[in-house]
Amino acid sequence: MDIKQLQYFLAVTEQMNFSKAAEKLHISQPSLSNAIKKLEQEIGSPLLERTTRNLQLTEAGELLYERAKVILKNMEVLKIEMDEVIVQGTSEITIGIMESIKHWLPQVITEYKKEYPQMMIHLVDILGSKRVTKSLKSYKTHLIITNQIMNDDELEVKCLYEERLVAVLPLNHPLAEKDKLTIADLSDVPFIISKEGFQTRHDILDAFEKAGNNINIQFEIERFETAVSLVRENLGVTILPENYLKGPTAKTIVQKEIDCPNLRRNVYLVYLKNRHLPFAIRQLLTDIMHFF
């Protein structure tokens, strides 16, 4: 039994059709059929029950299918990790990020590049818990900085810091005159909020529900930049992380503290527990955690 045989068997199982599987594998159907027959002979048991209409896995076939998926996945992972160590060395790192870390991550990278000037750093937007999990487990990213609450035994999650969520208003908004706002102040105004699947949306809706106030959602967005643009045009108000609003953005809008202890969030550093990370990448993990 070898890797190619397992790949052929998985293709047939997933297609449940020799012709389609052969086409996907770019081999002839007779060659594929012979390969599966040889595998069955080596194992000493039929793996597929063949009828005139369809294929069905035998008990041995079901067992092999589940184990083969794990073996081939581990082989893919091993190739990626060996490429990083042998082919690429420690020359590249891919970091999943969110918008609100723009005020501090460049500072960490500046210091890191003094020690590792040859490192190519790829920064990619990863928003939403499903995307975080998929990106890490598919080895698309080495680490991700997120506010998503991740409950997955395969992930290592380190809390970096906590930050407030604050109200964001147009410069001439009537509520801009108040020192501090309440949830009730924001209940009737047109509201801009993140789409389903974002932790910030969940936190905001939870705060409104606990306060017993309705929320008048008029816009759903994916990026905070879009929310700020809509606020500037006087199309509504929103609630965003205070750290996102640092720098030039702060001069174009009004931000107000909200009298609500629930409107806070944590920012996490997340990576795969069992993934091999070269020393240079582990050093960046350490640098990020030491920054706080």
List the CATH number of the domain containing 116. 3.40.190.290
What's the count of helices (H) and strands (E) in the chain, helices before strands? 9, 11
Pair (73, 99) in one structural domain: no
Region 136-140: mean pLDDT is 92
Category of 32 on φ-ψ map: left (φ > 0), alpha (ψ -120 to 50) or beta: alpha
Q: Domain count for the chain, please give it.
A: 2
Pair (25, 113) in one structural domain: no
**What is the Cα–Cα distance from 280 to 269, expressed in whole angstroms?**
17
* Contact present, 160 and 292 (Cβ < 8 Å): yes
Range of the structural domain that residue 28 is part of: 3-87
Structure tokens at 147: 């506010």
Pair (15, 99) in one structural domain: no
Residues 6+ apart with CB under 8 A from 202: none
Pair (33, 14) in one structural domain: yes
pLDDT digits (tens, 9 = 90+) for 161-206: 999 999 999 999 999 999 999 999 999 899 999 998 888 999 999 9
Strand duo 237-241 + 191-194: pairing: parallel
Q: Is this structure's pTM higher than 0.75?
A: no
Displacement of CA 205 from its chain's centroid (Å):
22
* Contact present, 117 and 91 (Cβ < 8 Å): no
pLDDT digits (tens, 9 = 90+) for 139-152: 899 999 999 889 89
Pair (83, 103) in one structural domain: no
